[in-house]
């Protein structure tokens, strides 16, 4: 049994939302620093913050959390410490928290954070919509792909649904008159009227989403996932994009 198994068995950790696991990963470092502060009264604040970050990042690796949690855990407490040293007005922390809450707090539940499709992905999608057809972006974020598609394909009908209020507002303002942007959940969205359904989410919802797509999408329509496959489902085509994140688009004809 490894030392991380002793701290918390990985099988148990995998049942937690990653954000909760990432939070728990900070507790052993905090306990260690509390102990060290007792035996080393001169322990510098920066060293304590760095130690907590290192332990939290190490646990993110050991617990096989998605890769970005390593970097978030490594930086979170040191950045907090730096912010406290700079004696920023508490209002900045509140503003930062509100901004995060409005764009990404739902990610704790949905396990889908905000990151953006490249213009290359949008251009490929634009070329795959049939003449006069329609595309829906499930979890449309800030509306970037829809905005680009609407410029490239004025003949098509575009729709998006977004759960995070601030993202929705940005997409809505950006696409007024060009796409229907709804504030709500993709799980309440009827997929039967669209020729192309596009998703760029995370591994977490893909199995359930595939079941929904199979039940609702019309024969001959196209399901496109950016980067995330569906476990156990084969796609008709995989296209590597030459964009910054080297993303790939997965296509499946229904
Ligand atoms: C990775 S971003 C992709 C944004 C956009 N589609 C793009 O490609 O640029 C995923 C978005 O899906 C949204 N989202 C996650 N779960 C959702 C749900 N159940 N219903 C609606 N939107 C959701 C998130 O808030 C986030 O803005």
Q: What is the pTM of this model?
A: 0.71
User: What residue's CA is closest to ligand 1, atom 12?
Assistant: 139
Q: What is the pLDDT along the chain (254 residues), one digit of tens a residue?
A: 455 454 666 667 767 767 778 889 999 999 999 999 888 888 899 999 999 999 999 998 888 877 778 999 999 999 989 888 887 777 887 887 777 777 766 666 677 777 889 999 999 999 999 999 999 999 999 999 999 999 999 999 999 999 988 889 999 999 999 999 999 999 999 999 999 999 999 888 999 999 999 999 999 999 999 999 999 999 999 999 988 777 899 999 99
Give domain status of residue 113, yes or no: no
Which of 104, 139, 164 has most ligand 1 atoms within 8 Å of CB, for mutation? 139
Domain range spanning residue 181? 119-253
Give domain status of residue 176, yes or no: yes
Which CATH number do you get for residue 204? Answer: 3.40.50.150
My answer on whether 68 and 139 are in the same domain is no
What ligand 1 atom has the least distance to the C-alpha of 187? 19
Q: How many domains does the chain have?
A: 2
My answer on whether 151 and 214 are in the same domain is yes
My answer on whether 134 and 217 are in the same domain is yes
Which of 162, 168, 174, 224 has most ligand 1 atoms within 8 Å of CB, for mutation? 162
Residue 115 CA, ligand 1 centroid: distance in Å = 8
Per-residue pLDDT, 63:
86
Identify the domain boundary among 43, 67, 87.
Answer: 87
My answer on whether 61 and 128 are in the same domain is no
> What order of strands is seen across the sheet that includes strand 180-183?
180-183, 157-162, 134-138, 196-199, 222-226, 248-253, 237-240
Give domain status of residue 31, yes or no: yes
Per-residue pLDDT, 4:
47
Question: Three-class SS string for the chain?
Answer: CCHHHHHCCHHHHCCCCHHHHHHHCHHHHHHHHHHHHHHCCCCCHHHHHHHHHHHHHHHHHHCCCCCHHHHHHHHHHHHHHHHHHCCCCHHHHHHHHHHHHHHHCCHHHHCCCCCCCCHHHHHHHHHHCCCCCEEEEECCCCCHHHHHHHHHCCCCEEEEEECCHHHHHHHHHHCCCCCEEEECCHHHCCCCCCCEEEECCCCCCHHHHHHHHHHHCCCCCEEEEECCCCCCCCCCEEEECCCCCCCEEEEEEC
Give domain status of residue 97, yes or no: no
Give domain status of residue 163, yes or no: yes
- Within 6 Å (CB) of ligand 1, which residues are found? 106, 110, 112, 114-117, 137, 139-141, 144-145, 161-164, 167, 185-187, 200-201
My answer on whether 27 and 124 are in the same domain is no
Give domain status of residue 98, yes or no: no
């Amino acid at each position: 049994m490894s030392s991380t198994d002793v701290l918390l068995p990985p099988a148990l950790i995998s049942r937690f939302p990653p954000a909760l696991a990432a939070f728990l990963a900070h507790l052993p470092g905090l306990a260690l620093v509390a102990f060290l502060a007792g035996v080393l009264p001169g322990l510098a604040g920066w060293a304590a913050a760095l130690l907590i970050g290192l332990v939290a990042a190490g646990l993110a690796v050991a617990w096989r959390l998605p890769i970005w949690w390593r970097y978030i855990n490594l930086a979170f407490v040191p950045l907090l410490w730096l912010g406290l040293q700079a004696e920023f007005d508490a209002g900045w922390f509140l503003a930062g928290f509100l901004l995060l809450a409005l764009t990404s707090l739902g990610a704790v539940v949905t396990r889908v954070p905000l990151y953006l499709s490249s213009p290359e992905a949008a251009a490929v999608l634009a070329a795959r919509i049939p003449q006069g057809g329609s595309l829906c972006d499930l979890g449309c974020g800030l509306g970037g792909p829809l905005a680009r598609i609407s410029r490239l394909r004025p003949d098509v009908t575009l729709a998006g649904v977004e759960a995070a209020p601030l993202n929705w507002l940005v997409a809505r303002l950006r696409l007024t008159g060009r796409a229907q942007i709804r504030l709500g959940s993709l799980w309440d969205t009827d997929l039967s009227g669209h020729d192309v359904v596009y998703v760029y989410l995370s591994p977490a919802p893909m199995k359930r989403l595939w079941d929904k797509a199979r039940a609702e999408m019309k024969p001959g329509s196209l399901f496109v996932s950016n980067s995330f496959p569906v476990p156990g489902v084969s796609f008709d085509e995989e296209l590597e994009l030459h964009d910054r994140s080297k993303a790939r688009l997965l296509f499946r004809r229904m």
